[in-house]
Structure 1
Amino acid sequence: MINEKEMPFWKAVIPLIVMIVVMGITIIKLEQGPHVPLIVGTTVAAIVALSSGFKWKDIEESMYKGIRLALPAVVIIMLVGITIGAWIGGGIVATMIYYGLKIITPSLFLVSITIICAVVALAIGSSWSTMGTIGVAGMGIGLSMGIPAPMIAGAIISGSYFGDKMSPLSDTTNLASGLTNTDLFVHIRHMLFTTIPGLVIALIVYAILGKNFGKSGVDTADIQQTIYVLQDSFVISPYLLIIPVLVIVLVAKKVPAIPALLIGIILGFLSQVYIQGGNFSGAIEALQSGFTIKTGNTMVDELFNRGGLDSMMYTVSMTIVAMTFGGILEHTGMLKAIVNQILKVAKSSKSLVASTVVSCFATNATCSEQYISIVIPSRMYANAYKEKGLHSKNLSRALEDGGTLTSVFVPWNTCGVFILGTLGVPTLQYAPYAVLNFVIPIISIVYALTGFTITKLSKTEMRELKEEEHSSINV
């Protein structure tokens, strides 16, 4: 157990400031990746911790704790890479794109893919699984229609995170309700006030954007050409759609994500060998280094030459580096010092809820992990909500509005790097089009400042809460 010491605020913000400055220069000016800036931030954080009396052994352990927290995400990331390789090689993605091009019109595509991803994520409770399966096919369909990749990615992200946020099967939804001792369905119902308006606004924006891609603005010959290339390059069969449907059903039935993805991988592998007519060597290569094909069609080649375990190593390495930085900040008390300073400013109930939303985003940026953005603020703000007589569902909603949704806007956050590895679109490009993800936090802050839907504890609930606290102290 790492002994957390009191950390002065001015010291706690040094690693954060250094990391942000170096990150800005590296990404914006030098156009390089975020790995090195995160390593620089980790190094500065370690130096600050040493200067505050922490032993190197404790600092090292804090880094390992951060990495251990991200290990489940790392495993999922690797399996998604393998799944993409298996499903492309097995013709599953090609089949989904083929029928998508046949059914969905360009003008309605952004709205359609948002709704489809929302329904699937709501059913299975996972934005990552939705983006790694339906999202990959959606990128192919949209690109074939001439729609820019950032717009497609933004719509996929909006739909996926709506379903994830509102699903009783979602880990973040259960985490936020559990940590705040809020009934799961009370928590979900309270989120409707911010999430439904957010979805409506997103769909309106996508409907307006979609008008630019009506029949008059899209060369249907390109779509037909893509369909012909898919038919020539893959065996297209509606039976192949059973595989993604099966994976979705398994997860909806509460089968853990890892075995469900493994079943999808095995079926994709067998499809490449026995349906697409490939050999075992090529199918294994697709799992390891990704599927390769040369059709002569630039768009198809760029879309299908991808996937595999190797394609996710950039994402895995960034996740590990980011979590070393976040681990030191959390377990040496630096993050606590920063949040405590915020609590001094947030004196009213209105400012407390708004501060929670902002703090969750700040935690996403500093600790690089969506789960930490829920866990740490829930610890820091729980007593403050009780003292101000606010119902715990206000805190649980703020955690999701500010934590779950904003993780996609941080390039070095596990969610940001996953989306880059899965959909192939950088954070800064898709961010303006992930409408639901930035609209809901704004709505949440507006509600907080106006007091709309902010529920206070009744006298009876306050009395029961004090009795529970009293009994727990006596025990």
Structure 2
Amino acid sequence: MSLIWALIPLFVMIACMIVTVVILKQGPHIPLIIGTSVAALVAWKHGFKWNDIEEMMYKGIKLALPAVVIIILVGLTIGAWIGGGVVATMIYYGLKIITPALFLVTICIICGVVSLAIGSSWSTMGTIGVAGMGIGLSMGIPAPIIAGAVISGAYFGDKMSPLSDTTNLAAGLTDTDLFVHIRHMFYTTIPGLLIALTVYGILGLQYRNSNIDQESIQQTIFMLEKSFVISPWLLLIPVAVIVLVATKVPAIPALVVGIILGSLAQVFVQGGSLSEAIGALQSGFVIDTGNAMVDDLFNRGGLDSMMYTVSMTLVAMTFGGILEYSGMLQSIMNQILKAAKTAGSLIVSTLIACFATNASCSEQYISIVVPARMFATAYTKMGLKSKNLSRALEDGGTLTSVFVPWNTCGVFILGTLGVGTFEYAPYAVLNLVVPIISVIYALTGFTIQKLSAAEIVEIQNRKAIEA
């Protein structure tokens, strides 16, 4: 398929997205449906039958099903943990212990440690991140800045964790040893984290105790004590989930255990009824304290709250499925590869392709899968070790997914943290800085490792045997 035809659905979708999301302030679903329709027409014009096009959409949706399950479980977890008093307890002790000046640094580190332990940025943002939003807002810190710190920490841990699905995906697709891949990411990710923590430290200075409405904080603490049973024992619930995942229990059963424990806490610790516990799982926790900020924070969660994100994911993947399986994405990638004449330009092209896939296919998994397929042979021909490709996939794919409002990651963050992409984007420092560092390394050759002659021969022999 020619490049012009391949770009038509993208241009139509992006134009509709700008009008709908930016100008009309509506959701991204309809522009994606329009883009899917145009992509289907382009595929049909190039000889694909409707049954083929349907199968492309189903394949795209199938890729997103693991993410859909996690989205649903995170909604249930938020409802159960709020109803069980877990989130209230975390906020309560956070307000007691964490000083406003150090809050942004602290919440970034905490999210990083938790995400590193469980391997999931989404689970971290949906639990620790929600509590962090409550603590920070109580201290008078703007929501976009808090969200940025939460996102930076969560994605640092997700990117560097051997339990992370995206980390394993990038390593597996490029035939790179998992821990070799993680060690190679240290060069870009650790400097990015240090820069992020420095920025959050500077930003936090303007929210010192002298600038905070202590009366508001005390009022929030009072409302928490009045509305929930606060107990340090409730913190064992998130600890249990972290321990389960850290001991290599899969994320889904670990989250289910957290949901069950949260619901039991709502009934037996908070004194709620079984009906209320089930209601919190289905439609979210409901409370009326008379305090607007507390009510806004705790009236959330549940299966229903995630349906916007689920529908967004399914619609986005029908669009991405047609682009990939009809060959449109292949056509675009081929043009990018033609421009890559040096090792540096090849890596930069990979980073750009990953972000472009995030924007066009709306899913971070595809932003790793498709470029990995397209660029693997080019890296070998250029004499580059596979870990260069695996790192570029994460730097350009995993981290930039949060900057696309219609990407499943951007939609998930809006649903859980309540902050839109354009609001938190300037403050998601790690996600902004690491791709830039990666570009600098590519252009200077720093940390870019090449294959030896023996390694090139070994790879060629293996491919010949496989063929």
TM-score normalised per structure 1: 0.97
Aligned residue identity for 2:150: I
Q: Which residue of 1 aligns with 2:213?
A: 219
Match of 2:124 among 122, 130, 134: 130
* 1:364 partnered with 2:358: yes
Aligned residue identity for 1:424: G
Q: Which residue of 1 aligns with 2:295?
A: 301
CA–CA separation in structure 1 for the residues paired with 2:243 and 2:250: 11
CA–CA separation in structure 1 for the residues paired with 2:254 and 2:20: 38
* 1:202 partnered with 2:207: no
Contact 2:118–2:251, Cα closer than 8 Å, also in 1:
no
* 1:12 partnered with 2:6: yes
CA–CA separation in structure 2 for the residues paired with 1:389 and 1:223: 58
Aligned residue identity for 1:40: I
Q: Which residue of 1 aligns with 2:277?
A: 283
Aligned residue identity for 1:385: Y
CA–CA separation in structure 2 for the residues paired with 1:421 and 1:258: 20
CA–CA separation in structure 1 for the residues paired with 2:354 and 2:465: 31
Q: CA deviation at 1:467?
A: 2.3
C-alpha deviations, 1:354-382, integer Å up to 9, x for none?
Answer: 00001001001111111111110000000
Q: CA deviation at 1:42?
A: 0.3
Listed as ranges, the matches of 1:231-246 within 5 Å are 231-246=225-240
SS in 2 for 1:114: helix
Q: Which residue of 1 aligns with 2:347?
A: 353
* 1:312 partnered with 2:306: yes
* 1:375 partnered with 2:369: yes
Q: CA deviation at 1:124?
A: 1.2
Listed as ranges, the matches of 1:22-37 within 5 Å are 22-37=16-31
Listed as ranges, the matches of 1:147-166 within 5 Å are 147-166=141-160
* 1:59 partnered with 2:53: yes
SS in 1 for 2:447: coil
TM-score normalised per structure 2: 0.99
Contact 2:53–2:322, Cα closer than 8 Å, also in 1:
yes
4+ aligned runs moved over 3 Å, structure 1: none
Listed as ranges, the matches of 1:434-445 within 5 Å are 434-445=428-439
CA–CA separation in structure 2 for the residues paired with 1:472 and 1:281: 58
Q: Which residue of 2 aligns with 1:448?
A: 442
Which range is displaced more, 116-125 or 324-333? Answer: 116-125
Match of 1:143 among 126, 132, 137: 137
CA–CA separation in structure 2 for the residues paired with 1:29 and 1:420: 18
Aligned residue identity for 1:224: Q
Listed as ranges, the matches of 1:169-208 within 5 Å are 169-208=163-202
SS in 2 for 1:110: helix
Listed as ranges, the matches of 1:70-85 within 5 Å are 70-85=64-79
Percent identity over the alignment is 75
Q: Which residue of 1 aligns with 2:335?
A: 341
Listed as ranges, the gaps of 5+ residues in structure 2 are: none
CA–CA separation in structure 1 for the residues paired with 2:166 and 2:462: 26
SS in 1 for 2:448: coil
Match of 1:91 among 76, 85, 89: 85
Q: CA deviation at 1:259?
A: 1.1
Match of 1:432 among 413, 426, 430: 426
* 1:112 partnered with 2:110: no
CA–CA separation in structure 2 for the residues paired with 1:428 and 1:255: 36
C-alpha deviations, 1:100-120, integer Å up to 9, x for none?
Answer: 101100010000000011111
Match of 2:243 among 249, 259, 265: 249
Aligned residue identity for 1:232: K
C-alpha deviations, 1:202-241, integer Å up to 9, x for none?
Answer: 0011001100100111111111110011000000000000
Q: CA deviation at 1:274?
A: 1.0
Contact 2:136–2:143, Cα closer than 8 Å, also in 1:
yes
CA–CA separation in structure 1 for the residues paired with 2:316 and 2:90: 34
Compute the RMSD of aligned alpha carbons: 0.8
Listed as ranges, the gaps of 5+ residues in structure 1 are: 1-6
Q: CA deviation at 1:253?
A: 1.2
Aligned residue identity for 1:359: A
Q: CA deviation at 1:245?
A: 0.5
CA–CA separation in structure 2 for the residues paired with 1:353 and 1:68: 29
CA–CA separation in structure 1 for the residues paired with 2:74 and 2:300: 12
Q: CA deviation at 1:471?
A: 2.8
CA–CA separation in structure 1 for the residues paired with 2:262 and 2:178: 36
SS in 2 for 1:182: coil
Q: Which residue of 1 aligns with 2:406?
A: 412
Q: CA deviation at 1:462?
A: 1.7
Which range is displaced more, 450-459 or 336-345? Answer: 450-459
Aligned residue identity for 1:399: L
C-alpha deviations, 1:94-146, integer Å up to 9, x for none?
Answer: 00000010110001000000001111111111111111111111111111111
